[in-house]
Chain A
Amino acid sequence: MNYLRTVWLHLEKELRLEFRSRDALMGMLFFTLLIVVVFSLAFDPTSQPTLARQIAGGLLWVGLLFASTTALNQSWSREMRNGVLDAQRMSPSPPSALFLGKALANFLFVTIVEAILAPIFFIFFNLHILGQASMLLALLPLGTWAIVVNGTFFAALGLRARSRELLLPLILFPIALPALLAMISAATGILTGETEPQSALRILGIYDTVYTTVSLLLFETILSAE
């Protein structure tokens, strides 16, 4: 119970900081909007609806992955200002609670961007779902969590590095590749109705469970590094 209360304390603080600065949300939103507009102009998806349905899932998730790296870096750079990270290291609360609070906050931020982006994406790409639309309710949270749990962990790992903005995508993208492929496969299956998304969702579920557990177990080592 105390652990959950501590997670909530961190989450509440993250939400308050983001509400005051809006750094992460605005950055992600404009980046993903630019991707949608640029790709819709480059491919003219309205003239080829079948092709649009086949590539839309990939574009959406890759765009979100790129955009989320800006937010993930932001969330830890706040801890570096004014030596706040030292105060966190001296705190008697469990370090994994800090990680979980931050990951949940990032999850909410990316979900908000998805909620704004999805209708715009459907309009620009003239998309109609031909498969199981209800599966989106499982795909979106599982896919988003796969991005943020790894992203939050690896952003913390590169926290003290000089070029941490570059380091995060270099580490995150290869590690997120299995999840990304599953996310794209499930999204394409849902949009085209040609394949069943269940097996890809199962892979995502396993990926999320494994990486969440590993991140929670290893975070203390990362936080206590000098």
Chain B
Amino acid sequence: MQAAVLTNVTKLYGRFAALKNLSVTLEAGAVYLVLGENGAGKSTLLRMLAGLSLPTRGGLTVLDGPANKQQRRVAYMSHATMLYDELTAMENLTYYSGLRKGSGECACTGSPEMALRAVGLDPHLNKPVSQYSQGMRQRVSLARVLSADPEMLLLDEPFSNLDVHSVAQMLDLLKDFRTGPLPNGHARTIVLTTHQAELAMPLADYVLRIQAGEFVSMEATQTQ
């Protein structure tokens, strides 16, 4: 099964082409590390896979369907924390988890409390997120996407603002996440971007390189 198929995808912002004729197939169950310089189109690619941005030209399917119809199966962690500053970590996660359980289809997701403990945070910490350090916010953000129990996890610069110990902890979590079973029997896919390639390399199966919005290469790593 394929996690995502991009066929000659171009994304224009005004006259600026963030992605140019990108054709890539991402296999389900693999971890993809997307590398490229600033402005290469990494975040645009992730936003498109998340269904937040549509291609200007070309075809895109995610988990065998339109990218913007996969909200229950895809979770996205961006540069921004996507958290309400005035709420505590637990309140933020409980709110998002409540929204996912709306139709009763996904009552299987991990509890917010477990997700916070998994990223090394106290769920009962009675402080608004605005009073957290950058690293703590990053971990709450990771807990948010992990508690959604997605089939496809998209991480944009997940290691920024984290110390070495926290990065190692995050990598362990992602390894566990990857092997965790899904109720539908499908395999989990992770797509992550980073400028610290050496940190993510042990986790990655494939390295996708893009430059100035264009495909450069896709190579299997030694772990594959």
Q: A20-B86, A83-B81, A90-B71 are in contact. Are A5 and B102 (CB under 8 A)?
A: yes
Report B30 CB to chain A, min CB distance, Å: 22
Q: Please pick, from A21, A78, A89, the residue contacting B52 in the complex, using a CB distance under 8 A.
A: A89
Query: Is the pair A81, B85 in contact by a Cβ cutoff of 8 Å?
Result: yes
Query: Is the pair B96, A92 in contact by a Cβ cutoff of 8 Å?
Result: no
Determine the distance from Cα of A87 to Cα of B98 in the docked complex, in whole angstroms.
13
The majority secondary structure among interface residues of chain A is helix
Query: Is the pair A82, B81 in contact by a Cβ cutoff of 8 Å?
Result: yes
Most-contacted residue by chain A among B74, B83, B84, B100 (CB, 10 A): B84
Q: A92-B99, A92-B102, A93-B99 are in contact. Are A17 and B86 (CB under 8 A)?
A: yes
Q: Which residues of A contact B80 (CB under 8 A)?
A: 82-84, 86
Check B82 for interface membership: any CB of A closer than 8 A. Answer: yes
Closest to A85 in B: B82
Q: Which residues of A contact B95 (CB under 8 A)?
A: 9, 13
- Interface residue tally on B, bucketed by range: 20 to 34
Check A111 for interface membership: any CB of B closer than 8 A. Answer: no
Per-position contact with A for B52-91: 1 when CB-CB < 8 Å, else 0?
1110000000000000100110111011111111110001
Report A2 CB to chain B, min CB distance, Å: 5
Q: Please pick, from A9, A87, A92, A97, the residue contacting B82 in the complex, using a CB distance under 8 A.
A: A87
Report A143 CB to chain B, min CB distance, Å: 30
Query: Is the pair A92, B83 in contact by a Cβ cutoff of 8 Å?
Result: no
Query: Is the pair B76, A86 in contact by a Cβ cutoff of 8 Å?
Result: yes
Q: Which residues of B contact A86 (CB under 8 A)?
A: 50, 52, 76, 78, 80, 82
Q: Please pick, from A9, A21, A226, the residue contacting B99 in the complex, using a CB distance under 8 A.
A: A9
Report A100 CB to chain B, min CB distance, Å: 13
Determine the distance from Cα of A81 to Cα of B98 in the docked complex, in whole angstroms.
21
Check B51 for interface membership: any CB of A closer than 8 A. Answer: yes
Check B103 for interface membership: any CB of A closer than 8 A. Answer: yes
Report A19 CB to chain B, min CB distance, Å: 9
Check A16 for interface membership: any CB of B closer than 8 A. Answer: yes
Determine the distance from Cα of A159 to Cα of B176 in the docked complex, in whole angstroms.
39
Determine the distance from Cα of A112 to Cα of B71 in the docked complex, in whole angstroms.
36
Q: A92-B71, A224-B68 are in contact. Are A13 and B87 (CB under 8 A)?
A: yes
Determine the distance from Cα of A84 to Cα of B140 in the docked complex, in whole angstroms.
14
Which positions 1-51 of chain A face chain B at CB distance < 8 Å?
Answer: 2-3, 5-6, 9, 13, 16-17, 20-21
Check A91 for interface membership: any CB of B closer than 8 A. Answer: yes
Check A94 for interface membership: any CB of B closer than 8 A. Answer: yes
Determine the distance from Cα of A147 to Cα of B172 in the docked complex, in whole angstroms.
51
Check B104 for interface membership: any CB of A closer than 8 A. Answer: yes
Determine the distance from Cα of A9 to Cα of B91 in the docked complex, in whole angstroms.
11
Determine the distance from Cα of A107 to Cα of B50 in the docked complex, in whole angstroms.
33
B interface with A by C-beta (< 8 Å): 50-54, 68, 71-72, 74-76, 78-87, 91, 95-96, 98-100, 102-104, 106, 128, 144
A interface with B by C-beta (< 8 Å): 2-3, 5-6, 9, 13, 16-17, 20-21, 78, 81-84, 86-87, 89-94, 97, 224, 226
Top-6 shortest CB links A-B: A83-B80, A87-B82, A92-B71, A20-B86, A93-B102, A93-B99
